[in-house]
Amino acid sequence: MLALEGLHVLVTGGSRGIGAAACRRFAGAGAVVLVHYRDRHDVAESLLAELRAVHDAPHLGHAADLADPAQVGALFDRVEREWGRLDCLVNNAGVWEPDALARFDVDVYRRTMDVNVLGPFLAVARALPLLRLSQRASIVNVTSTAGQRGEADHSPYAASKGALISATKSWAVELAPGIRVNSVAPGWVDTDMTAGPLRHDPAARARIESQIPLRRVASADDIAAPIVFLASELARHITGEILNVNGGSVLCG
């Protein structure tokens, strides 16, 4: 178990899936967590109750649409008011909508770019003064194998994750030496986002599993563990890294 006592962490999209698994791991290791979410208040509240039972600390919940600069501003105003600093920002929230070029939908494109790219940019820009007050500051961006190899019929999503990978490398240099910036790039993960193929279509799931060398789809916790590692002192000499977590299905780096 990693010791992260007193680390103050904000996880965007922390209410469900990979983000919720990361919140559980952070709290279990002694961190204080802000669970950010868009609008599913009940889901976030029930996770917060779980976190408080594991580690009694001033964990927070906060709703904000990451595509809205004013709401992102209010999110970090809250962090400043309640915690006074931030040690780790996990840019995890994201959307994955199909948008085949033959039926290109500009609204899907804009929504995808707003949440997956503009959101992290707004968050990092506003978090900077708070991260600069920390002695162990880091940012972890959740990207995707799609951002490295592309994804047919989801090209806006793939482009959005490619943009976040480039941003990770740019920010790693721009914000050094005080703030480390890394990314975890998952392959298939069993969450609400992928419920269509992974939970409701056994044939699709079997096909996906057969293409993964480790012959399994990742759980949310399989991705949360490397996120927590990158935020920890164990990764103190790592910055600008894109850590692929995909069971060997796409070997890129």
Q: How many CB atoms are located within 10 Å of the residue 187 CB?
A: 22
Tell me how many helices (H) and strands (E) the chain has: 10, 7
| Min CB(69)–ligand NDP separation in Å | 12
Residue for token pair 């480390």: 180
| Min CB(99)–ligand NDP separation in Å | 14
Task: Pick the closer one to ligand NDP by CB: 157 or 172.
Answer: 157
111-141: string of b/e by CB count within 10 Å (b at 16+)?
bbbbbbbbbbbbbbebbbebbeebebbbbbb
What's the token pair of residue 122? 């707004």
Task: Pick the closer one to ligand NDP by CB: 68 or 80.
Answer: 68
Closest CA to 123 of 96, 147, 146, 93: 93
Q: Which residues are catalytic?
A: 157
Distance CA 151, CA 172 (A): 26
| Min CB(5)–ligand NDP separation in Å | 26
Task: Pick the closer one to ligand NDP by CB: 29 or 227.
Answer: 227
Task: Pick the closer one to ligand NDP by CB: 130 or 140.
Answer: 140
| Min CB(53)–ligand NDP separation in Å | 20
Give the binding site for ligand NDP (CB under 6 A).
13, 15-19, 37-40, 43, 65-67, 92-96, 115, 142, 144, 186, 188-189, 191-194
